[in-house]
Structure 1
Amino acid sequence: MPPCLTQATPYKGFFALILIFVALEYFFNTVSDTKNAIFNSTRPLQYFDKASTSTYGPLLKSLFKNASNLRSLQEIMKSGNISDLHYLVTMPPFIASTILNNNKIMQEENSTKPLCPDISQNLYGRVQIQKYPVPSVGTLENRFASWLQPGGHWKPPNCVVEKKVAIVIPFKCRGEHLLLFLQHMHPFLKRQQLDYTIFVVEQEGDGPFNRAMLMNVGYVEALKLRKFDCFIFHDVDLLPEDDRNLYTCPEQPRHMSVAVDIFKYRLPYPAIFGGVSAISSEHFKLLNGFSNSFWGWGGEDDDMSNRIRYHHLYISRYPITIARYTMLTHKKDSPNPNRYLLVVTELTKL
C-alpha cells in the first residue's frame, strides 16, 4: 500500500456526484514550452465497460473502491524517461454525453432566464473553517446530493451566469485535505452563484510532484468537456475565509490567496502568484500555460509571474481584508533544489 494511504482515514462510497477526477499521462505532451506550439493534442480516449480492468491513482483507487455507477476511460499509461509518473482520466459515464446532447436545451432555457447579478445576495462575508472531523465520501454525497450535479458541477437554476469557471486541483496524497476542501468549497461556490465545475488531477507514483504539469492537464482536459471562460488553479490545502472573495473570471490574471494565515496574513512578496490563481482561458493560451520543467516544490508560480509580465499583463488582487485563506496542516514537500536556476532558464525561452 502506498505510504500516503496509511496516513489517511478509509474512504468509501461513490464520489461521482462530488467531482470529476481528471488525469492522464502527459509528461511533455501537455503545454509545450516553445513559442511556436501552444498546446499539443492528446489521443482520443474511448470508454470501456466497468467490468474491464481499470487503473486509478493510489488515493483515487481507494476513494472509488465501492463505487457502483462508474465507468472509467481506457488506460493510456506508460512510463516516461523522467519519472515514473502516470495519469488516468476518470468520470461518470453519463457526463460527456449529457453535455453534448443537452446544449440546445440549455441554450433555449437560458434565453428565458435573467442574468445572475455580478455579486450574489447570498454571501455571508467571513465564513467558518471546519478542519474536524474529516467528512467521509458518503457524508459529502448525502449532503450535496439534492443540488450538486454529476461531475462536481453546479449552476444557478433561476438565472444565467455569463462566464463558466473551471476549478483545477493538482493533487497527490492529500485525501483528508481533498474531503475538507470539497466540504468547504461546494457551498462556498454555490453562494456566489457561479456556473462552476471542480476538476481534481491526481499524480501517481513516488516521483517528485509536478504541480504545473497537472494544472496544464486540467486545462486541456476540461476544455474537452466544455468551453470554460476561465480557470482557477487551486492548492487543495488552502480554504478561503471570506465568500466575498469571488471566484469569477478576471480581466487580468488574479492572484487570489493574498493573505494566508501561516504568513500572518501578509503578502510574502509582490510578484507571488502561487497558492490560488485565476486566469482567463484566452490569457492562459497567450501565456502558453505553466512550464512543465518544475519537478518538486516551488518555482512554477514565479515562472508564471514572469510570463504574465513578459506578455504585458499584470497581476490583480482583491483587498487583503477579503482575500484571506487558511492553510490546512501538512508536512512541507521537498523543494526543488534547482528551482531558482530553472526560473532564470525559463526566462530565456520567452
Structure 2
Amino acid sequence: MKLNSLYGNDINILNVDAVMSLFTTNNGVRALLFVVCLLFLFNIIVNYFGYKNENESSFSKLRKIHNYTNTNGDNGVLYKIAPKHSLDASIVLISSTSEPNGRLVSNTVESILNSSHNVYSSTNLFTTSQITFPECISSSNEEKLFVPNVTLESLDVVEEELGPLLEPGGFFQPKNCTPKHHVAIVVPFRDRYAHLSIFIRNIHPFLMRQNIAYRIFIVEQTNGKPFNRAAMMNIGFLEALKIYPWDCFIFHDVDLLPLDERNIYSCPRQPRHMSVAIDTLNYRLPYRAIFGGVSAMTTEHFRKVNGFSNSYFGWGGEDDDMSNRLKHANLFISRYPINIARYIMLKHRKEKANPKRYENLVNGINRFEMDGINSIKYDLYSIKYFPMFTWYLAEIKVSDVTS
C-alpha cells in the first residue's frame, strides 16, 4: 500500500501482518532477557555510587576537602579524597556493654574485625619471617632532640609521606629486630582535626625511631553529650584488645607532641606519667599526683584499677581520679626525668570545665569497683582502618550528664 507524502513522494506502509509477525515467542524471550540485563546493569551502577556516597558520609571531615572552623578556632584542610588504602569495616550500629566479670558483650564486633576487612587480626598482626632477629634496643642515654613539624597539611599529604612506611590501620613494627613491646596508642578525640593532622605527622616518625611495635587508635565521640575523654580511652582499650593482646597502652592527648627521643613509649613496670614538662606550664610539673596529658599503663595495670571512671563529662577530673585509683591499687606513678619527658602543646581554646569534677573526685573512691571498663555502655557507629590510624566513632550510653 502506498500513500502520497506532503511533498508528493510515495512512501511504503508496512502491512499489518508483517508488523504482527515480529511478536513471536522467540523474539519475546529475547526482549525480556535484554530488559533484565539492562535492569541488572542499572542496579550495579546505583549500588556503586550509593556505596561511595555512604562511605563519604562517615568521617567526611578527613576524607575530602574540608575547610572548617571548629569550636577551638582551628582552621585547616584535611583529606581531599578517600585514602586509597583505607579498609572499611563500617557498620550501622554496634551496641557494647560489660558484664560484671568484665567480659565485653558484643555480638557483631568480633565477626567484623575477623572478616576479610581486617587483614591484620590477632593471629597475624605482627608476623615475621622465620629468620631470628636480635631484640630491639629502644633506650639511649644520649640526648636526641625531636623537633616537631607543626605546619598544617591535609592528611592526604601526610599519608603520601608516611603511608608507605605503615601497614593499614596505623601499624608499625621494626624490620630488622624483634620488638620487646607491643604498644597501643589510644587518642581520645572530638573536633580537633587540625591537631590530628599535626599529631599524626609527628608521632609516627617519633615512634618509628624507638624500635617498638605499635598501632594508633583514634576514638572519636559523637556530638550531643559533653566530651568524655576518660570514656573514650576506656572504649579504645576494650576495642583494641579485640584486635591484638597488647602489652601496654599509652593514652595520648592529640594536642601534645614529644620533644626528646629518650622519652620511650614502652611498657612501664609502674604506671608512667609521660608528659612531665609541658611548654605551656613552663616545663614544670604542676603537682605530684598529676597523671594527665600522656600516660602509659600495662594491660594488667589498667584492668587492676578498672580503667578510667566514666562519670567525667567536660574538662578536668578524670586524670586525678585515675591517680586515686592507682594509689588505691597500691601502684605508684613513675616518670622520666623532667629534661627528657618534655612536650609542646598545640594552641587551642580552653575547654568547658566539668562542674561536677570535684564532687566526683570526693565520691570516686566508692565507685572504683563499679565505674570503669566493667560498666561502660556504648554504641560503635563505625570502625575504619585508615593508612595512618584505626578510627572508631562511639557514643556513650549514659543518662547522668551535666551539660
The TM-score normalised by the length of structure 1 is 0.77
Letter in 2 for 1:4: N
> Quick one: distance in 1 between partners of 2:115 and 2:154?
23
| Percent identity over paired residues | 43
2:127 paired residue number: 106
Trace 1:189-338 onto structure 2 (pairs within 5 A): 189-338=207-356
With over 3 angstroms needed to count, the CA separation of the structure-2 counterparts of 1:26 and 1:310, relative to structure 1, is farther
1:168–1:232 contact (8 Å) kept in structure 2: yes
Larger radius of gyration: 2
Cα deviation, residue 128, structure 1 = 1.2
Cα deviation, residue 136, structure 1 = 1.1
- Of the three residues 97, 100, 106, the one matched with 1:29 is 97
> Quick one: distance in 2 between partners of 1:261 and 1:124?
18
2:94–2:109 contact (8 Å) kept in structure 1: no
- Of the three residues 27, 35, 38, the one matched with 2:102 is 38
> Quick one: distance in 2 between partners of 1:176 and 1:38?
36
Letter in 2 for 1:11: L
Q: Secondary structure at the match of 2:218?
A: strand
Cα deviation, residue 146, structure 1 = 2.3
> Quick one: distance in 1 between partners of 2:215 and 2:122?
16
> Quick one: distance in 2 between partners of 1:16 and 1:318?
39
Q: 1:242-266, CA deviations, whole angstroms, 9 ceiling, x for partnerless residues?
A: 1110000000000000001111011
With over 3 angstroms needed to count, the CA separation of the structure-2 counterparts of 1:7 and 1:268, relative to structure 1, is closer
Q: 1:187-213, CA deviations, whole angstroms, 9 ceiling, x for partnerless residues?
A: 000001110000000011132110000
- Please state which structure has a larger fraction of its residues in strand: 2
Cα deviation, residue 96, structure 1 = 2.2
1:258–1:323 contact (8 Å) kept in structure 2: yes
Q: Secondary structure at the match of 1:183?
A: helix
With over 3 angstroms needed to count, the CA separation of the structure-2 counterparts of 1:146 and 1:173, relative to structure 1, is same
> Quick one: distance in 2 between partners of 1:167 and 1:237?
14
1:272–1:302 contact (8 Å) kept in structure 2: yes
Letter in 1 for 2:348: H
Q: Does 1:128 align with 2:173?
A: no
Q: Secondary structure at the match of 1:168?
A: strand
With over 3 angstroms needed to count, the CA separation of the structure-2 counterparts of 1:346 and 1:329, relative to structure 1, is same
1:154–1:195 contact (8 Å) kept in structure 2: yes
2:138–2:210 contact (8 Å) kept in structure 1: no
Q: 1:96-123, CA deviations, whole angstroms, 9 ceiling, x for partnerless residues?
A: 23335636x926x3662211114269x8
Trace 1:113-152 onto structure 2 (pairs within 5 A): 113-119=133-139, 125-132=144-151, 134-152=152-170
Q: 1:184-243, CA deviations, whole angstroms, 9 ceiling, x for partnerless residues?
A: 100000001110000000011132110000000000010111110000000000001111
- Of the three residues 177, 187, 190, the one matched with 2:195 is 177
Q: Secondary structure at the match of 1:192?
A: coil
Letter in 1 for 2:227: F
Cα deviation, residue 126, structure 1 = 1.3
In structure 2, runs of 5+ residues without a counterpart are: 1-60, 62-67, 369-403
With over 3 angstroms needed to count, the CA separation of the structure-2 counterparts of 1:25 and 1:120, relative to structure 1, is farther
Matched length: 300
Cα deviation, residue 145, structure 1 = 2.5
Trace 1:12-91 onto structure 2 (pairs within 5 A): 12=79, 13-15=81-83, 29=97, 37-45=101-109
Q: Secondary structure at the match of 2:208?
A: helix
Cα deviation, residue 41, structure 1 = 2.4
> Quick one: distance in 2 between partners of 1:243 and 1:341?
39
With over 3 angstroms needed to count, the CA separation of the structure-2 counterparts of 1:20 and 1:236, relative to structure 1, is farther
> Quick one: distance in 2 between partners of 1:22 and 1:234?
24
> Quick one: distance in 1 between partners of 2:181 and 2:219?
22
Letter in 2 for 1:160: T
Q: 1:281-338, CA deviations, whole angstroms, 9 ceiling, x for partnerless residues?
A: 0110111000101111111100100000001010000000000010000011100011
2:315–2:354 contact (8 Å) kept in structure 1: yes
Q: Secondary structure at the match of 1:221?
A: helix
2:234–2:308 contact (8 Å) kept in structure 1: yes
Backbone CA RMSD of aligned residues: 3.2
Cα deviation, residue 16, structure 1 = 7.5
Cα deviation, residue 148, structure 1 = 1.1
2:259–2:343 contact (8 Å) kept in structure 1: yes
Moved more, 109-118 or 184-193: 109-118
With over 3 angstroms needed to count, the CA separation of the structure-2 counterparts of 1:305 and 1:131, relative to structure 1, is same
Letter in 2 for 1:96: N
Cα deviation, residue 26, structure 1 = 8.9
Moved more, 19-28 or 38-47: 19-28
